[in-house]
Structure 1
Amino acid sequence: MAKNQARRTHRQRMICAAAVSATTVLSSGFAHAQAVASSTEPQVGQSLEEVMVTARRREESAQSVPIAVTALGAAELENHRVESLENLQTVVPALSVSAASGRPNAPVYSLRGIRPTEALYGQDPTVAVYFADVVISPAEGTNLGMYDLASLQVLKGPQGTLFGRNTTGGAVLLTPKRPGREFGGDVKIGFGNYGRNETQLGLDMPFADSFAMRLSGRTIDSDGYQTNVAPGPMNGAKLGGESTRSARVSAVWDVTDNVENYTIVSWDSKDTNGRGTVLQAINPATTLRCYDGPTNPNGPCGANEALPSYFDALERARGRDRNDVESDMRQRDETEVWGIVNTTTVSLSDTLTLKSIAGYRDFETYSEYDIDASAIPGILTSMQTATLQHASYELQLLGSAFDNRFDWVTGLYWYNEDGVQNSPGDVLVGVNPNNPFMQLGAVDNSSYSFFAQGIYRLTPELSLTAGVRWNYDEKEMTLSSKTPAACSLRDPNTGALLPADRCSVTLSDSFSQPTGTLSLDYKVRDDVLLYAASRLGYRSGGFNLRATTPVEYAPFDPETVIDLELGIKADWFVGDWRMRSNVAAYNQWYDDIQRTVGVTNPIGVPGSAIQNAAKANVFGIEVEQTIAPTDNLSLQLNYAYTKPEYDDWVDPFTGDDLTDTPFHFTPEHAAAASLTYTVPMQGAGELRFSASASYRSHVWINSLQTIQAIRRTPASVLPFMQQDAYTLLDLSAGWTGVMGSSFDISAYVKNVADKEYSLGGIQLYESARPDIRPFGIVTKAYGEPRTYGVELRYNF
């Protein structure tokens, strides 16, 4: 009780700190406003660029939206070389992207500390990615649309009203470039180290005043930066490379003066040779000690049994350089996606608009990866094939009333996904030849919702926003899991193993939840906005794709996040220096958290159960500061402070208190800085120089490790389960309009210091229960080393 009282006291202090921070924010806002009022009124064109966003399903200035949103235009995306959402976290500190194993096409996203344990069919994401207002699901393949974009927006905090898939963490919106009304375009070629070469095309083709098309595409080829140094046939094989092919055709047709039809058809294919993981530690009590001999998995090896050669090979692979990896198998991660989006907009009157948004996406992936990170066959390997088709339809009605004092939107939304995820693999085949397994989950999920939101201007300066959404989700999953000898599934009622000819279990359930938003914003003046906002976000319940026993079949319920956010958005001046200060302080009440809890069966095979295990509080402060001393020099500083803490979490098997478990992949401090300087060349083009740095403080890097397992882990091994604080530095330079021509040339270096940092890993050093022999390995997956290259673009 003393501990819980201490936690409540700490939570109260956090909320008080939020209030104090908000008071400071508001006070600084008035100080900024006074500074603006007392300064010389700026001339037209002196203010900072106005960034347009669609966070409230209308196009409006980012500085007028009462929520925290980071928006990047096409030029910023290119200057920072944001070619994947993994790159985006170096610009947006509140965002974290991780990868648990050697699958670069399967990232896991986190915003403000809200993160799923892992990405599996049957578990909705906490951060949804949208392309042209249509959700991309699952997380695999979300990087494929990261080219030819007009803008990218990161909406922070729960999204519970206006966007199709309710999320507890946030949303990322990708907006592709629309067809231009004049013929023209650009073509780019690039070359870099590790055999990288790339091309990109964007072409606008107007065929009539009322009809235009845009053709865009991209190719990327690279050899890879990792080398397999294991003895045997795989020696010398490269990992970390890719072969990407993408094409996109979009068309805008003005059917009448009041009807516009906008269609996008896209195809993307990305084949990688995997990302090799590096073995970090081996538990002396590991089951692998007995890998080649008879053993009782619940007891010690034979008294006179020496360490087998396999264990020696593990020792050899342990702690290698991040670019020298060992594996007994070819590794790859291949994804192919095609999709179509159609948006039809009908202006019914000057104050009423009807919008239809339809989307369809067909996704296929195949992967092979060596989880044990060694040259020994049959320890722990996995393959995965997956197919998924998802369709969505949204009907919106947008309007204005009361002399444009009231803007509103209402609509209906439907979503369906239907697919199969098959994960065959090998587990300790030296101990048990029957351990090669097949694990399959087929999903058929539907979501329905109704939503409405209104913005009412109580006065010219004061506005109230209120929205509500009703959500209903139907989830169905069919499981099948077997070895060559028998079915691995147990009967949901009796617990007995199912016969091999009836090796499937079908689970179904439904979930519903009302969600919404409420905010109040006040314009101190046109360029200073104060706001307070609260939202309720929901992540649907579902089923565990890895379930094989009755306790694992049980559905997990939805999780929810309620937040309170206070903030300011201000444009102001210090002398001639232009400033933009966006500050947000928030607290999130995180309830019924879905957590994957690691379990181990009697033969040592890792397993998992998903439960609504915990509740927590997350407090944070975010600052985005732009400083522009001149038209040619600008500095962008972004900072995110995130402090999550579990309030309640008890191990259902042992009754142990797990509230001291760290929030994995959540740095307490994260920051990004970017300095850009341009030099006009008086008719010979413009030079641009840019330097950017990103910092992330210490994190724990595997979400399956509770405080139980961490406390049983030797102190010498704990560093391998964490990532120390690190800083990445990127440099770039470019010459636009070389000597007044249509050519642009640029060069870049990413990760200048060749910093070693991990994006995730597999931590199985300890088993879920101390009475069962652990699998006993720890691996890390590392980010890219130093890369550099040059690019040439021709504009026409």
Structure 2
Amino acid sequence: MRNRHAKDITCTILLAALAVSAATAATAQDGMGDDDGLAATDLDLSGTDLSAIDLSGTDLGGATRLKPIVVEARKFEEPIREVPFSVDALPAEEIEAARIRNTADLVGRVPNFNFADTGLSFANTLNIRGIGSSSALISPSVNYYVDGVPLPARVFDQRFMDVRSIEVLKGPQGTLFGLNSQAGAVVVATQDAVPEFGGEIGVEVGSHGERKLDASVGGAISDRVSARLSGTLYGFDGDIRNIVFDGAGNVVRDDKSVREQYSGAISAKVAAELSDGTDAVLSLRHSRSRERPTTGVWLDDPHFPRNAFAPVPETTTETTGGSLEITHDLGFATLTSLTGISHYELDLEADLLDGFIGGAQTGLPPFAFGAAGANVRRIDETSSQVSQELRLNGEIGDRGQWVAGVSGLYSDLESTTDITSLAMANGAYTGRLKKTNLAAFGEVTVPVGERLRIIGGARYTYERQQFGGTYAGRPGGAPGLAAFAESQESTFGFVTGRAGLSFDLGPELTVYGTIARGEKPGGYLFFNQFASIGIPLTEFKSSGTWSYEAGLKGSPLADWLEMSTAVFLNDTSDEQLFTFNPVAGRFDVQNADTRSYGWELTMTARPTESWHFGAAASLLHAEITSGNALIKGNDVPYAPGFTTSLFAEYRHPLEIARRAGSAFGRAEYQHVGSRQIDPANSRRLDAYNLVNLRAGWESDSFDVYGFVENVFDEGYTTSAYRAGNAAGGGGVFAGIPGSGRALGLGARVRF
């Protein structure tokens, strides 16, 4: 109770500070004469993003000039105010200020961008506005792109490194991005290689042995070639207790080793002017990580959170990727060739059943499941992907744009799951899935007069999938087949597109409306849990979405205040829901219709040079409208009805040791509403609230700061699943706990 009241007081203070500061600045601005500074009409904030304002401003005697944000959400540069759908864009300055290190941090700043941390980074899932698959065994509805190249779905959730900007595009993006962007896309741009020499080194240390070191350096190699090299190292000692028992029930080890993580990554970028009008950018990256994740903690354990794994799960992931972008000015248009490659290898070894979860299911003591190596699941996975896009971009008059192109992608995923168990059939299942995706696309923006723009675009996609699975059984555990094989091949063809218009109500305010169609091919799971008894996988159908959105972007009230608001409706047919089928007695993909609708609002304000405020809020109703009696009428999983976030930042000039700089303080608040964990709505996770603080001093060449995350040590659960039934009746649920309070210090040197 004490924590809840403290959080309510903190939130009230933040809101009060926003209101008082805004009123003060507005009063000061109203009192300005002609000689006091620039008039409101002198400020051009067109294109300024609500959640991505550049923090560098110009003091205008109470108001602040904000730099416009230009995005590439439609594969050409344009002010964000003119994009006819919702885009949340964060520049590098805001990414650093908010300590956005990965997807879990990003979702806290983007309304209706929902994330389920499953404990295994390769199995995390996303949805936007209630559209998205509820299992990592199904192709995602939200794709990640790094420097224009799509990431393999199983390794999208990596730590961000050397990022220049992040754009979250909401609503179907099948017109220009295609490839399963039925709900939206996340576009990450890394820092450019520029001729000016420079670099930086940063270090952080924190609770639970957390430490991070990153560095980058770049500059000109010759008159026409520039390069940039970046690297990062990260370590974390773990924060969940794990107890290991011997056969007699004695504790032989008790530590906090679960969620231990070590990772390293390096990237290089080379930009070259090949000739007049022709440029090339080569990007390369490599990363390796080792983690000891939890695959689930018993949610109703009176000593939650704790595990009894023997051994503790361990994953090793190694990824390599690169891209080559060549642009050539044809005069009437720009021709772009973008080639991407990626490869990853993933290994997992895990105890099949945590001792406390097993005890809850059977009534036996936890040590009954603690024999090391008795129940182990091993996953070995490799994937290779090659993509190619050829694109033309051109202009129509002063404000019109067009883009057209073709793309191709080939991927080859092979995953082997090997089970050794006392209760299950022992053996290994290998699934291999090959995909060939070809597409042609185009979109045009036509200006009609000075204020109106009409948008139209379409994409045709052809996809071929080849699936094969083999099972090799061995003695041990439950009876099973000695061998089993299955194979399938399917082709899909579909049209997606977008149409809409935007209208400038004024020089700083735009209203828009858009209708979009998104689709995601059907296919097969690449793991068959019933191969040992000869039941083949069944194909699930393609899923399609019609999306309707209307919104308003710009500065309707004051030059120092930016806002964006949107309402939307999504009708999805044959959504691919991962759920338990009580008739077949197995987990399966069930196609069912869903409907989601809601509202979003984002605002940012800089009433003075010292103060910076931001707020975001969203309402969402996402319902399963068809399907069997177990799921029809239920909520879509991981679609909270209400989310909000606030931040307030204050900066004040402060000279230290004759070095000019500024002291700063930042407070953040985030609320995530309650949400269901599966289509059957078998359990609802509680809402939670987080408060983060950051303060320090920075100059042009040196920063030092401290931070506290989850100030009030809020206990919460990020995702959960039904692990089985209890011996005395009822369900046994396992989940992934959120991170507790963490403190840390950091410093950064720029040269």
TM-score (norm 1): 0.80
Equivalence for 1:356: 337
What residue identity is the alignment partner of 2:633?
Answer: D
Which of 680, 702, 705 aligns to 1:706? It is: 680
Q: Which residue among 584, 587, 611 is the counterpart of 1:608? A: 587
CA contact (8 A) 1:234 1:329 kept: no
* Cα drift, residue 225 of structure 1: 1.1
Please state if 1:676 is matched with 2:676.
Answer: no
Counting aligned pairs with the same residue, the percent is: 22
What is the letter of the counterpart of residue 611 of structure 1? Q
| 1:266 has 2:285 as partner | yes
Query: Following the alignment from structure 2 to structure 1, what is the Cα–Cα distance between the partners of residues 445 and 352?
Result: 51
CA change 1:520–1:638 in 2 (3 A) is same
Provide closer, same or farther for how the CA distance between residues 389 and 733 of structure 1 changes in structure 2, counting only shifts above 3 A. Answer: same
Distance 1:87 1:585 in 2: 24
2:201 corresponds, among 187, 190, 209, to: 187
Cα gap change, 1:686 to 1:745, in 2 (>3 Å)? same
Partners of 2:294 and 2:220 lie apart in 1 by 43
The letter for the 2-side match of 1:389 is S
1:205 to partner: Cα distance = 2.3
SS at match of 2:354: coil
Which of 739, 742, 750 pairs up with 1:784? 739
| Aligned-partner Cα distance in 1 for 2:504–2:644 | 28
Distance, in Å, in 2 between the alignment partners of 1:337 and 1:700 is 33
1:165-215: CA deviation from partner (whole Å, max 9, x where unpaired)? 132211111100011211111011111111122110111121122100000
CA distance in 2, matches of 1:388, 1:191: 34
Which residue does the alignment assign to 1:519? 500
| Aligned equivalent of 2:129 | 112
Of 631, 634, 639, 2:609 maps to 631
Shift of 1:581: 1.2
1:230 is paired with a residue whose SS is strand
The secondary structure found in structure 2 opposite 1:165 is: coil
Q: Give the letter for the 2:649 counterpart.
A: T
The letter for the 2-side match of 1:593 is E
Give, in angstroms, the shift of residue 563 of structure 1. 0.6
Residue 748 of structure 2 is aligned to residue 730 of structure 1: no
Match of residue 470, structure 1, among 449, 455, 460: 460
Judged with a 3 Å threshold, the aligned counterparts in structure 2 of structure 1 residues 179 and 488 are, in CA distance, closer, same or farther, namely farther
Aligned length: 672
Q: Cα distance, 1:754 vs. partner?
A: 1.2
1:157 partner amino acid: G
Give the C-alpha shift of residue 436 in structure 1: 2.6
Alignment of 1:80-99 (within 5 A): 80-99=98-117
Whether contact under 8 Å (1:746, 1:790) holds in the other structure is yes
CA distance in 1, matches of 2:723, 2:107: 27
Q: Given the superposition, is the C-alpha separation of residues 203 and 352 from structure 1 closer, same or farther in structure 2, using an over 3 Å criterion?
A: same
| 1:419 maps onto 2:419 in alignment | no
Unmatched 5+ stretches in structure 2: 1-29, 31-37, 45-57, 59-63, 247-251, 356-366
Q: Which residue of 2 aligns with 1:72?
A: 90
**Structure 1 residue 231 displacement after superposition:** 2.3
Q: 2:546 aligned with 1:562, yes or no? A: yes
Q: Map of 1:199-238 to 2, 5 A cutoff? A: 199-232=213-246, 234-236=253-255, 238=257
Distance 2:477 2:401 in 1: 58
CA contact (8 A) 1:373 1:779 kept: no
Counterpart of 1:647 in structure 2 is 625
Q: Aligned runs of 1:127-166 on 2, under 5 Å?
A: 127-144=142-159, 146-166=160-180
Q: Is the 8 A contact 2:288 2:318 kept in 1?
A: yes
- Residue 211 of structure 2 aligns with which residue? 197
Deviation per residue, 1:373-430 (Å, 9 max, x gap): 21514886532211000110000011124x3454211100101110211122345x1x
User: Match for residue 448 of structure 1?
Assistant: 438
* Aligned-pair CA distance for 1:325: 2.3
Opposite residue 572 of structure 2, the aligned amino acid is Y
SS of residue matched to 2:105: helix
The CA distance in 1 between the partners of 2:515 and 2:463, in whole Å, is 24
Q: How big is the shift at 1:630?
A: 0.8
> Are 1:372 and 1:779, in contact at CA under 8 Å, matched by a contact in 2?
no
Deviations 1:607-649 (A, max 9, x none): 322232x112100100001122212111111011110122211
Q: Contact conserved, 1:455 with 1:466, CA < 8 A, in 2?
A: yes
Name the CA shift for 1:617/1:600 in 2 (closer, same or farther; >3 Å).
closer
Counterpart in the other structure of 1:743: 702
Alpha-carbon displacement from aligned partner over 1:322-349 (angstroms, at most 9, x marks no partner): 2x32212122122110111110000111
| CA deviation vs aligned residue, 1:122-149 (integer Å, no higher than 9, x gap) | x3211101100100012325314x0110
Give ranges in structure 1 of 5+ residues lacking alignment: 1-34, 282-317, 490-496, 651-655, 711-720
The Cα of 1:700 is off from its aligned counterpart by: 1.5
- SS state at 1:690 partner: strand
Residue 290 of structure 1 corresponds to none
Is the contact made by 2:144 and 2:156 (CA closer than 8 Å) also made in structure 1?
no
8 Å Cα contact 1:104-1:275 kept in structure 2: no
Q: State the Cα distance separating 1:684 from its structure 2 match.
A: 2.2
Provide TM-score, normalisation by structure 2: 0.85
Alpha-carbon distance in structure 2 between the residues aligned to 1:475 and 1:319: 47
Q: Deviations over 1:505-532 (max 9, x none)?
A: 1111111110000010001122100000
TM-aligned CA deviation for residue 47 of structure 1: 3.2
Structure 2 counterpart of 1:696:
672
Give the partner amino acid of 2:748.
Answer: R
The question of 1:589 aligning with 2:571 is answered yes
- The answer as to whether partners of 1:107 and 1:140 remain within 8 angstroms in 2 is no
Report the counterpart of residue 718 of structure 1 in structure 2: none
- Which AA in structure 2 matches 1:458? V
Q: Distance in 2 between matches of 1:230 and 1:484?
A: 28
Q: Look up the equivalent residue of 2:514 and give its one-letter code.
A: A
Give yes or no for the alignment of 1:395 onto 2:390: yes
Displacement, 1:679?
0.8
Query: Aligned pair in 2 of structure 1 residues 357, 521: CA closer, same or farther (>3 Å)?
Result: same
Answering whether residue 72 of structure 2 is matched by residue 51 of structure 1, we say no
d(CA) in 2 for partners of 1:478 and 1:448? Answer: 22
SS across alignment from 2:606: strand
Cα–Cα, structure 1 residues 681 and 363, in superposed 2: closer, same or farther, change >3 Å?
same
CA contact (8 A) 1:623 1:639 kept: yes
Are the structure 2 counterparts of residues 736 and 280 from structure 1 closer, same or farther at C-alpha, using a change threshold of 3 Å?
closer
CA distance in 2, matches of 1:276, 1:167: 28
Structure 2 residue aligned with 1:10: none
Relative to structure 1, the CA distance from residue 437 to residue 599 in structure 2 (aligned partners, 3 Å threshold; closer, same or farther) is farther
Change in CA separation of 1:154 and 1:141 when aligned onto 2, cut-off 3 Å: closer
CA distance in 1, matches of 2:388, 2:494: 20
Residues 111 and 170 in structure 1, CA contact (< 8 A), matched pair in contact too: yes
Query: Following the alignment from structure 2 to structure 1, what is the Cα–Cα distance between the partners of residues 108 and 352?
Result: 27
- Once the two structures are superposed, residues 65-109 of structure 1 have per-residue CA deviations (whole angstroms, 9 ceiling, x without a partner) of 111000001111111111111111111131111133x31343211
Secondary structure at the residue paired with 2:95? helix
Question: Equivalent residue of 2:154, what SS?
Answer: coil
Q: 1:327 to 1:405 in 2, by over 3 A?
A: closer
SS of structure 1 residue aligned to 2:155: coil
Is 2:740 aligned against 1:795?
A: no
Instruction: Say if 1:481 and 1:488, in contact at 8 Å, map to a contact too.
Output: no
Cα deviation digits, residues 257-282 of structure 1 (max 9, x gap): 2000001000011111113632135x
Distance change (3 Å), C-alpha of 1:680 and 1:93: same
Instruction: Give the 3-state SS of the residue equivalent to 2:94 in structure 1.
Output: helix
